[in-house]
Amino acid sequence: MELLSPAGNVEKLSYAYAYGADAAYIGLKKFSLRVKADNFYEDEYKKVIELKNKYPNKRLHCALNISFHDNDIDNLKRNIDYFKLYPIDAFIAQDIGIVPLLQKNFPNAELHLSTQASCVNSEAVRMYKSIGFKRIVLGRELSLNEIKRIKDSNPDMQIETFVHGAMCIAYAGRCLMSAYLTGRSAQSGFCSHTCRWEYDVLTKPNGAKKLAESGDLFLREHQRPDEYFPVFEGEDFTAILSSKDLRMM
């Protein structure tokens, strides 16, 4: 088993290694969903190399887990030589468009599928293995029993899961609320967590008795009094309202 920790800057990377993490993952600016972290840039690779030398058995993963547009691919290509300065053991990616680029330029680094890819079944795991992925970070929506079934079906694939953290109302953060209300895309690392804001629940003037199933319910966010969001509750889901945090431990 490997205990993996996020590291938003060099200091946090040092703490992660010192306090027992087997590996830590960093983000490189503009390509990681953790845009609010300090991330890594300029000559910080020298400090990272020093830490790797100090903790020779620790691993370093690099998150390139945004959804890449063509201009992002171009930017990635321009930064390849800079990435090569870091002692990266594995890349965490969700967009298969960058897979050939990483395989060509980092033949010794593993490919790990990001949880953002929403891999939630055994057949998908086999498909990703066929194109070169060494590890699958499963979708956070899975139960322990589902995780066990996937692992039993793919015993030679490394499986990674989150045990704590925020759960999105959409699969792997594929939600447009943040982009719609604030212009900040969740898939570019700028999620404003609009699902966690304070809303009013409103009804039409002649609300139906079975409000939860009627489509007569609306949400109104406090800072947007003239904007309404319809709410509909169906089997196993309620739209819009935020999920509880993940606690798999």
- Token pair, residue 42, equals 């300029």
The percentage of residues in the chain with a pLDDT greater than 90, rounded to a whole number, is 47
pLDDT of residue 170 exceeding 90: no
pLDDT of residue 245 exceeding 70: yes
Q: Give long-range contacts, CB 8 A cutoff, 24+ apart: 122-126.
A: 122/149, 122/150, 122/153, 122/154, 125/150, 125/153, 125/154, 125/157, 125/159, 126/154
Q: How much is the average pLDDT of 159-172?
A: 80
For residue 163, count other CB atoms closer than 10 A to its CB. 10
CB neighbour list of residue 102: distance below 8 Å, 6 or more residues apart: 64, 91, 93, 109, 111
Four-point Cα dihedral 11, 185, 230, 219, nearest 10: 40
| 11-20, 36-45, 159-168: least confidently modelled range | 36-45
- 112-128 pLDDT, tens digit per residue, is 999 989 999 999 999 99
pLDDT of residue 27 exceeding 90: no
What distance in Å separates the CA atoms of residue 98 and residue 27, rounded to the nearest whole number? 16
- 175-233 pLDDT, tens digit per residue, is 778 888 888 877 766 788 888 887 776 666 655 446 656 667 777 888 888 888 777 66
What distance in Å separates the CA atoms of residue 212 and residue 234, rounded to the nearest whole number? 8
Q: What is the pLDDT of residue 162?
A: 86
- 55-114 pLDDT, tens digit per residue, is 999 999 999 888 888 998 999 999 899 899 999 999 999 999 999 999 999 999 999 999
Q: How much is the average pLDDT of 14-41?
A: 76
Q: What is the pLDDT of residue 209?
A: 42
- pTM of the entire predicted model: 0.77
Q: What is the pLDDT of residue 232?
A: 66
Beta-bridge partner residues of 201:
219
Specify the higher pLDDT residue, 37 or 231.
Answer: 231
- CB-CB contact of 60 with 92 (8 Å): no
Phi/psi of residue 218, nearest 5 degrees: -135, 150
pLDDT of residue 32 exceeding 60: no
Q: What is the pLDDT of residue 190?
A: 73
Q: What is the pLDDT of residue 241?
A: 64
pLDDT-derived band of residue 8, with 50, 70 and 90 as boundaries? confident
